[in-house]
A and B are shown apart, each in its own frame.
Chain A
């Protein structure tokens, strides 16, 4: 059975450096893909992923084992990505607040219908999907990727993005609607 993250952290806190090595190996791909959603450049994503793990290493000794490691790590990754983007592009401090994120908006967003099955049979599906996601705002795209590819719960995503659960659900539904519109 695979060793849990908190066991690895416990081992690291007792002086086992190999345990941190395992944590990096386990989460590197997910962190890299996550930050790639923000910057869209492979070399930048590499730099930000490195920054993320250096920051995590610096703070892991005092990590509270009651908390979940993955959202904590992704929060560091998100902050590192935003810091890097702010330096590069002069991103506003309230980057995530620029989107429509009113919780009551969730009720205004209609339910999403399933995709027509033939969409999944398209030969150009991967390319189409990439183009569709490029048209979606970064917040909605991030929620979709975190939920469907990184298997994170909406609550975990809300914790990482420091947004209310309703906002994340609203972004998720809007993202799916845009995908649906694109493929319709």
Chain B
């Protein structure tokens, strides 16, 4: 019974697609890809600059903190009195840890991680620009 209706519906004259439709679809995707890449470029560039500025300032502050703490003296003690330091190495290691500006180092590590992620995103976005025009190129082959 259904064969009968299949035969009938095969006579339906559905509109034929415009030959340029495939190209139009791929061009739309191409444009979408471009605008996504542009957005990514702006966001990742801004984040990278922001993180870099914070990182530089953070390093300056960290160096200042280190200069005011006695870490440098403790480290130089290791080279001048290695034998004595090794005898009390546990206390020595604790002293060094206590004298380090821990919070600032942690914040700096987070900023460095954010900078790495932003740079990675930036490189990925820039490399995606190389593939632009691919859909259009594919059409010509």
Contact B12 A32 (CB under 8 A): no
Contacts of B135 on A, CB cut-off 8 Å?
A: 17, 21
Residue in B closest to A25 when the chains form the complex, CB atoms: B22
Residue in B closest to A21 when the chains form the complex, CB atoms: B138
A126 vs chain B, min Cβ distance (A)? 5
Contact B1 A113 (CB under 8 A): yes
User: Is residue A171 within 8 Å, beta carbon to beta carbon, of the partner chain?
Assistant: no
User: Is residue A77 within 8 Å, beta carbon to beta carbon, of the partner chain?
Assistant: no
Contacts of A119 on B, CB cut-off 8 Å?
A: 8
Cα–Cα, bound, A46→B6 (Å): 26
Contact B8 A145 (CB under 8 A): no
Contacts of A32 on B, CB cut-off 8 Å?
A: 15, 17, 21
> How large, as a class, is the contact surface on chain B?
20 to 34
Contact B8 A28 (CB under 8 A): no
Contact B138 A133 (CB under 8 A): no
User: Is residue A144 within 8 Å, beta carbon to beta carbon, of the partner chain?
Assistant: yes
Cα–Cα, bound, A24→B6 (Å): 26
Contact A29 B29 (CB under 8 A): no
Cα–Cα, bound, A130→B9 (Å): 10
Map CB proximity to B onto A162-176 as digits: 1 under 8 Å, 0 otherwise. 000000000000001
Contact B25 A179 (CB under 8 A): no
Map CB proximity to A onto B11-42 as digits: 1 under 8 Å, 0 otherwise. 11111011001101110110010000000000
Contact B24 A50 (CB under 8 A): yes
A119 vs chain B, min Cβ distance (A)? 7
Q: Which of B5, B14, B18, B29 contacts A53 (CB 8 A)?
A: B29
Cα–Cα, bound, A24→B1 (Å): 34
Contact B138 A129 (CB under 8 A): no
Contact A144 B21 (CB under 8 A): no
Contacts of A149 on B, CB cut-off 8 Å?
A: 9-10, 12, 14
A34 vs chain B, min Cβ distance (A)? 10
Contact A130 B8 (CB under 8 A): no
With contacts A33-B15, A50-B24, A54-B28 taken as known, whether A148 is within 8 angstroms of B138 at the C-beta atoms is no
Q: Which residues of A contact B (CB under 8 A)?
A: 17-18, 21, 24-25, 28-29, 32-33, 36, 42, 45-46, 49-50, 53-54, 57-58, 112-115, 117, 119-120, 125-126, 129-130, 133, 144-145, 148-149, 176, 179, 183
Q: Which residues of B contact A (CB under 8 A)?
A: 1, 4-15, 17-18, 21-22, 24-26, 28-29, 32, 131, 134-135, 138-139
Cβ-closest 4 pairs across A and B = A148-B9, A114-B4, A114-B1, A53-B25
